[in-house]
Structure 1
Amino acid sequence: MQPETPDWFATAQTALNKTQLGPRAEYKGRVEEIGDGVAMISGLDNVRLDEVLRFQGGQIGFARVLDPDLIGCVLLDAASEVEAGDAVFGTGEVVNVPVGEALLGRIIDPLGRPLDDKPPIETQTHLPIERPAPSIIDRDLVTEPVQTGIVAMDTLFALGRGQRELIVGDHSTGKTTLAIDALIAQRDSDMICIYVAVGQKTSSVRRAIDALQAKGNFARCIVLVAGSASAPGLQWIAPYAGMTMAEYFRDKGQHALIVIDDLSKHAATHREIALLTRQSPGREAYPGDVFYIHARLLERAAKLSKELGGGSLTALPIAETDSGNLSAYIPTNLISITDGQIVLDAALFHQGQKPAVDVGLSVSRVGGKTQAPALREAAGTLRLDYAQFLELEVFTRFGGMPEGRVRDQLRRGERIRAILRQSQHAPYRLADEVALMLAVQSSALDKLPLTAITTFLAKLPTILDRDAAQLLQTINETGKLDADARKTLTEVTTRLATSLCNMEPSSP
């Protein structure tokens, strides 16, 4: 009687039988120099741009510079265990990242490796981080709105599905908060949300993740993190990896919203890599292709035609300015690439006007075409009224008592400024914004003391749910406002404002 074959032996024998024997070509090079996350490699003449290279210790990097004698390789892992003289092998593949539904609800690095102490992510599909942008013939018009729940954005600078809107401002003026609020507002929509953190502090990333988990629908979010302590290579590929993950949903006919926080730090990383790989510096020491790397990235955001499924990818890139200098190199580049910008002003922020949107410098080049019809009709001349108020306010600072009509304009402008203030992580519904705009246009707030505006804003959603629930549902679903709905909402807001007027002493 023969002894029974062990299971491990049978498995090993099966694996050996499937192994193809014979010679195999392997491209091998050698590390000549290593430092600051960049390795200079010799002996790999057949390597192509952005090809993944594998070091003998298991670390990986990608070829960024192809010189006749040396290859500049940017490491995607820690460089501490890579030394001069180590062997390097070409893989023949460019940088790929996993895509698919399995990424939803996860916190990952740019290569798709989990950072949330959960099991490894298993997906069937991997796509390259560098993909061509949709051609003009493959695109459709940007006409559908993205409701951000932020009054200052939805009423003054509407965002459309497929648009690229830059958020720009000085350090600590609420740029990330504005973008996170836009993601939180999608908790009840059909949009997939991707937040890409590039070079951010761990504490800042943690706050963003906590807000998304507490207030948003995190099960439909992907958080991609390449923090300030990550390898420069990871920080460099992070926006491209995030775009590829978002494009997967767009190409399936779904809708995605991506926030890239921020491209100023990405540009600084690109400059660092360029200088370490001995590329020629240009303006402010940036290499000559710094415009191109962001242009080819943001051009991938688009609304696809109906023949391709009608999916959309909306981008909210963030850029940081120094002392409000919008004419600096990187902000100027990004403003020229995107379809508009939301400018945050440090002076407004410190005055307590949050979000600190500068309505004079901010613009949406798509304009009211993407605004929900109900909100466009209700807002009316809000932006013009507010702009006139800001000019009048400057003139009246010189002294003198304004006459009656000017005084009324100033009074209304102060109420408009008050309703544009909004608490963080508390987005409004579309119907709430419509009712708020009708309250302004009907002069219901003109007699309301400024001290009572906050109370009015806090009570409005509850009152609307009580007195006009069916109407709210119709507006939120259709985005349209008929005469009866307009009349009902105006009556509800007027009653609320009148009741608060009777409770508060009058103010100038």
Structure 2
Amino acid sequence: MEAGQGCFVVGLRVEELSSFLEEQIKKYEKSIDTFDTGRVVTVGDGIARIHGLMKAMSGELLEFPGGIYGMALNLEENSIGCVMLGPDSEIKEGDEVKSTGRIVEVPVGEELLGRVVNALGQPIDGRGPLNARKFRPVEAPAPGIIQRKPVDTPLQTGIKAIDSMIPIGRGQRELLIGDRQTGKTAVAVDAIINQKNENVICIYVAIGQKASSVARLVETLKKYGAMEYTTVVAANAGELAALQYIAPYAGCAMGEEFMYNSRDVLIVYDDLSKHAIAYRAISLLLRRPPGREAFPGDVFYLHSRLLERSARLNEELGGGSMTALPIVETLAGDVSAYIPTNVISITDGQIYFETELFFSGIRPAINAGLSVSRVGGAAQIKAMKEVAGRLRLELAQYRELSAFARFGSDLDKETRERLSRGERIIEVLKQGQFEPMPVENQVIIIYALINGYLEDIPIEDLKRFEKEFLGYMSSKHPEIGKSIKETGELKDGIKQRLGKAITDFKKGFKTKTSGN
């Protein structure tokens, strides 16, 4: 009896085992993991030359031993030129390199807002991982003409000289160009700060800058509450040229995610001169033939394929936009150099910063005569268009007359009046750093300026008058600013009330010279 029971138990186990095996055999699928591999031939200066990898794509991510990655750039007949995206000190000749089948991509989405990341989208602010759920390739085709719509919505920078004379629209590319230390970055940062209540996502790309400068900028954005809606992409001066090359494309990919989700984006590239220099260094190390100023022949395409990705999308695609403020540094005001002329021809307008104006105390140091916006009045509210229409003409007349006035002491009354008016325009357009002004306040003060209400205010009192007057308007007549903001127009009734408010305020304003 005992023996029979034992056989029965054994029999049960055998049956279970055979059915389990049968199930596993049915489920078994033959799969082989294949990798396209190559070998390092030479490595150094952040460049690796690889033999093999016959199926590699341009811009593909390649994996080296030790978890280090590179990006394929030169696809030659017998080898691949690859730029390293990490330290090459541990890479040696003969090491195996694997293809990943993926183009270089970066994390995108809401998780990046308020963060500082490197060119690969990895956080460098010490606040832990991003936990991003989406990725986008750094290189992507620009929207076609059919996918775009005309630029017709203003992007308010909060800077009087720009919003009145050189307006920027959502989806535009407006170049900030000038010598170093003339306030280009300051204007871009003010524009970011001014988007606080405008529902605009901001991305600041720092290329080849000192880490201390970037840290200062981040602290400034935090101080003014702008980091909440801003992502900073930093490829500092001490980093590899390849990372400085990728950084603006990475920032652009992050912006595109919002643009294609019906959001408005402002992206600052600071600056594309250093970006071109980083690309030149990579190209020369990859043995690409040098051309003018040692830049390779495709340096125009380098920036055009980046800036063309900024657009205002049509309603079918959600109507989102990405506005670009590229910055280019000139040497001794030479805008005819290779990179400045390239970027000028790609963008929809330029804002010129002059060293002479900067050091004479006119800040922002914008040359209104040379600066231009190819979108123009389409990117202004009606009220601003109305009050600022004569501003640029009168400023140009002042500059012309002031040049002649230097040589003559006996000036007629009309010339003296025009010169006085021009001086007042310049004084009113001056603006301190980190002090962006709401558009309704800009309209109010420019209205007072253009309509002659400030003619009897001494120039040295104008800034104080402006500050006190705008404070008076917000406390005593808030409905005027509210009407301008909501309707975008200066209606007749509002004009009359504004004129009366200016007259009433002037009665109680005391100037330094007269004491009354």
**Normalising by structure 1, what TM-score?**
0.94
C-alpha contact (below 8 Å) 1:163/1:302 kept by paired residues: yes
**Does the C-alpha gap of structure 1 residues 499 and 412 become closer, same or farther in structure 2, counting only changes over 3 Å?**
farther
**Residue 15 of structure 2: aligned partner:** none
Distance across 2 between alignment mates of 1:298 and 1:214: 30
**Residue 343 of structure 1: aligned partner:** 352
Counterpart amino acid of residue 28 in structure 1 = T
**Residue 361 of structure 1: aligned partner:** 370
Distance across 2 between alignment mates of 1:196 and 1:397: 44
The alpha carbon displacement at 1:82 in A equals 2.1
Secondary structure at the residue paired with 1:314? strand
C-alpha contact (below 8 Å) 1:442/1:490 kept by paired residues: no
C-alpha contact (below 8 Å) 2:352/2:367 kept by paired residues: yes
Unaligned runs of at least 5 residues, structure 1: 1-17
Instruction: Pick the aligned partner of 2:491 from 478, 482, 494.
Output: 482
Deviations 1:194-245 (A, max 9, x none): 1011111112212221221111432111111111111211111111111111
**Does the C-alpha gap of structure 1 residues 280 and 19 become closer, same or farther in structure 2, counting only changes over 3 Å?**
farther
Aligned residues: 489
The alpha carbon displacement at 1:468 in A equals 1.6
Secondary structure at the residue paired with 2:67? coil
The alpha carbon displacement at 1:25 in A equals 1.2
Distance across 2 between alignment mates of 1:294 and 1:276: 20
**Does the C-alpha gap of structure 1 residues 438 and 57 become closer, same or farther in structure 2, counting only changes over 3 Å?**
same
C-alpha contact (below 8 Å) 2:354/2:367 kept by paired residues: yes
Instruction: Pick the aligned partner of 2:274 from 245, 265, 278.
Output: 265
Identity level (%): 46
Counterpart amino acid of residue 409 in structure 1 = R
The reply on whether 1:504 has 2:491 as its aligned counterpart is no
**Residue 14 of structure 1: aligned partner:** none
Instruction: Pick the aligned partner of 1:434 from 434, 438, 443.
Output: 443
The alpha carbon displacement at 1:289 in A equals 0.4
Distance across 1 between alignment mates of 2:376 and 2:383: 15
**Does the C-alpha gap of structure 1 residues 457 and 48 become closer, same or farther in structure 2, counting only changes over 3 Å?**
same
Deviations 1:18-43 (A, max 9, x none): 99875321122222222221111112
Instruction: Pick the aligned partner of 2:501 from 481, 492, 498.
Output: 492
**1:75-114 equivalent positions in 2, closer than 5 A:** 75-114=84-123
Comparing 237-246 with 462-471, which one deviates more in the overlay? 462-471
**Residue 13 of structure 2: aligned partner:** none
Distance across 2 between alignment mates of 1:357 and 1:287: 32
Deviations 1:299-357 (A, max 9, x none): 11011111111111100000000000011100000000000000000110111111000
The reply on whether 1:443 has 2:452 as its aligned counterpart is yes
**Does the C-alpha gap of structure 1 residues 506 and 399 become closer, same or farther in structure 2, counting only changes over 3 Å?**
farther
Deviations 1:355-401 (A, max 9, x none): 00011111001111111111111223000000000110000000222
Secondary structure at the residue paired with 2:201? strand
Distance across 2 between alignment mates of 1:350 and 1:92: 53
C-alpha contact (below 8 Å) 1:133/1:299 kept by paired residues: yes
The reply on whether 1:198 has 2:207 as its aligned counterpart is yes
Distance across 2 between alignment mates of 1:107 and 1:479: 36
Secondary structure at the residue paired with 2:169? coil
Distance across 1 between alignment mates of 2:297 and 2:427: 45
**Residue 342 of structure 2: aligned partner:** 333
**Residue 185 of structure 2: aligned partner:** 176
Counterpart amino acid of residue 252 in structure 2 = M
**Residue 118 of structure 1: aligned partner:** 127
Counterpart amino acid of residue 413 in structure 2 = G
**Residue 50 of structure 1: aligned partner:** 59
C-alpha contact (below 8 Å) 2:70/2:85 kept by paired residues: yes
Secondary structure at the residue paired with 1:61? strand
Distance across 1 between alignment mates of 2:375 and 2:430: 24
**Residue 72 of structure 1: aligned partner:** 81
**Does the C-alpha gap of structure 1 residues 22 and 318 become closer, same or farther in structure 2, counting only changes over 3 Å?**
same
The reply on whether 1:412 has 2:421 as its aligned counterpart is yes
The reply on whether 1:321 has 2:334 as its aligned counterpart is no
Instruction: Pick the aligned partner of 1:235 from 244, 249, 258.
Output: 244
Distance across 2 between alignment mates of 1:168 and 1:263: 10
* Greater C-alpha Rg: 2
C-alpha contact (below 8 Å) 1:161/1:314 kept by paired residues: yes
**Residue 16 of structure 2: aligned partner:** none
C-alpha contact (below 8 Å) 1:432/1:460 kept by paired residues: no
Instruction: Pick the aligned partner of 2:431 from 422, 447, 462.
Output: 422
Deviations 1:163-220 (A, max 9, x none): 0000000011111001010111001111101101111111221222122111143211
Counterpart amino acid of residue 234 in structure 1 = L
The alpha carbon displacement at 1:471 in A equals 2.4
The alpha carbon displacement at 1:487 in A equals 2.1
Deviations 1:124-143 (A, max 9, x none): 21111111111101110100
The reply on whether 1:296 has 2:327 as its aligned counterpart is no
The alpha carbon displacement at 1:506 in A equals 5.8
Distance across 2 between alignment mates of 1:284 and 1:497: 58
C-alpha contact (below 8 Å) 1:186/1:216 kept by paired residues: no
**1:391-406 equivalent positions in 2, closer than 5 A:** 391-406=400-415
Distance across 1 between alignment mates of 2:202 and 2:496: 36
**Does the C-alpha gap of structure 1 residues 232 and 342 become closer, same or farther in structure 2, counting only changes over 3 Å?**
same
Distance across 2 between alignment mates of 1:86 and 1:389: 69
Over the residues paired in the alignment, what is the CA RMSD in angstroms?
1.6
Distance across 1 between alignment mates of 2:68 and 2:470: 54
Distance across 2 between alignment mates of 1:48 and 1:140: 33
Distance across 1 between alignment mates of 2:469 and 2:62: 59
Distance across 1 between alignment mates of 2:248 and 2:514: 52
Secondary structure at the residue paired with 1:320? strand
Counterpart amino acid of residue 67 in structure 1 = E
Secondary structure at the residue paired with 2:102? strand
C-alpha contact (below 8 Å) 1:105/1:218 kept by paired residues: yes
The alpha carbon displacement at 1:78 in A equals 2.0
**Does the C-alpha gap of structure 1 residues 493 and 33 become closer, same or farther in structure 2, counting only changes over 3 Å?**
farther
C-alpha contact (below 8 Å) 2:457/2:511 kept by paired residues: no
Distance across 2 between alignment mates of 1:112 and 1:90: 21
The alpha carbon displacement at 1:148 in A equals 0.4
Deviations 1:63-119 (A, max 9, x none): 011111221111111222222232211111100111111111111112111111112
Comparing 228-237 with 452-461, which one deviates more in the overlay? 452-461
Comparing 375-384 with 275-284, which one deviates more in the overlay? 375-384
Secondary structure at the residue paired with 1:186? coil
Instruction: Pick the aligned partner of 1:252 from 252, 257, 261.
Output: 261
**Residue 40 of structure 1: aligned partner:** 49
Instruction: Pick the aligned partner of 2:170 from 161, 171, 180.
Output: 161
Distance across 2 between alignment mates of 1:476 and 1:327: 40
**Does the C-alpha gap of structure 1 residues 410 and 498 become closer, same or farther in structure 2, counting only changes over 3 Å?**
farther
Unaligned runs of at least 5 residues, structure 2: 1-26
Counterpart amino acid of residue 99 in structure 2 = G
Deviations 1:269-313 (A, max 9, x none): 110000000000010000000001111110110111111111111
Counterpart amino acid of residue 384 in structure 2 = L
